Amino acid sequence: MVEKFKFPNLREHLKEGVKPIMVCIGTPEDFSGQDLESVVSFGVDWKNGTYQSGQKGEFFTAGPTTYVISAIDDKDKFTEGLNRCTSLVVSGTDKETKKNISFLTHQPPGMISFMKEYIFADEVKKERTKEMYPFLDDLRIQLLKMKEKCEPGTIDAVIVGGSDGKLTPVDLTEQRKKMNDYLLSVEILKEKVEQVLGFNPREVNGPKKDGGQDKVRFDNEHRGLYFVRSDINQDI
């Protein structure tokens, strides 16, 4: 298998000696001899709204087929079924244990419309949207926990998954109304990460074109993200 590692161009947010999250991209055929769903990987299960072995309060979800934000721990992580869904992976070095710790998210297409409502709604509607679908608040909580737990200059983050979607409604701002759902959702995710951590997460390989389902496995100890998709964007 020819492994395609993508190294970041900018590392200003990482202190010297700290390696970024390294992404290995390949097709299902490339990874056919590897067990990406091994027992050491803790699964983020979007369909059931669960995180394997996570205790109540350690991970966030609004229920089955909504969203899942895993617990922050030192376990390897896995999720699949990323069609239009995206996944944010955040990793850093624990201040106390000096081990790498991380969390992984899985956001469905429905999140995008709620994010639009939240960003562009009036204050009353924002509060109602937050009660119905608190993904952004839950993400902020987990990002703040990472910032508190990790040594400064050791946190990195990437966004994977997603596909080209329909154009957003014309009632959005002029700046964003021509963006498709993928571009808008990724922009908002980047904004939320930057607000807490002070840098933009890297977007890996953009949206897919074929409508297949991506898989990701994160090797926590080595900060290695294995990204499986059937049609890789060769120009990115």
pLDDT digits (tens, 9 = 90+) for 19-35: 999 999 988 888 887 76
**Rounded mean pLDDT of the chain?**
80
CB atoms within 10 A of CB 193: 22
CA distance 120 to 117: 5
Better-scored residue on pLDDT, 75 or 150: 150
pLDDT at 9: 52
Domain of 135 in residue numbering reads as 4-228
Q: Is the pLDDT of residue 39 over 60?
A: no
Domain membership flag for residue 236: no
For residue 133, tell me if it sits in a domain.
yes
CA distance 142 to 170: 33
In a domain, 20, yes or no: yes
- 159 falls in which pLDDT band (50, 70, 90)? very high
Q: What is the pTM of this model?
A: 0.83
Quick check: is 152 in a domain? yes
pLDDT of the residue at 1: 43
Q: Are 114 and 129 in contact (CB under 8 A)?
A: yes
200 occurs within a structural domain: yes
Question: Residue 32: inside a domain, yes or no?
Answer: yes
Average pLDDT over residues 57-68: 81
Give the mean model confidence (pLDDT) for residues 187-198. 92
Q: Are 97 and 84 in contact (CB under 8 A)?
A: no
Domain assignment of residue 234, yes or no: no
Confidence of residue 2 (pLDDT cuts 50, 70, 90): very low
Place of tokens 């709204």: 49
Per-residue pLDDT band for 55 (boundaries 50, 70, 90) equals: low
Please report the sign of the dihedral spanned by the C-alpha atoms of residue 9, residue 190, residue 68, residue 205: negative
Number of folded domains in the chain?
Answer: 1
Beta strands in 29-143 (DSSP E): 41-45, 50-51, 60-61, 68-69, 76-82, 86-93, 100-106
- List Cα–Cα distances, 14 to 27, 187, 199, 236, in angstroms: 30, 22, 10, 23
Which stretches does DSSP call E strand in the chain? 4-6, 22-26, 41-45, 50-51, 60-61, 68-69, 76-82, 86-93, 100-106, 156-161, 202-203, 214-219, 224-228
Domain membership of residue 204 (yes or no) is yes
CA distances from 222 to 93, 122, 139, 219, 225 (A): 11, 44, 24, 6, 9
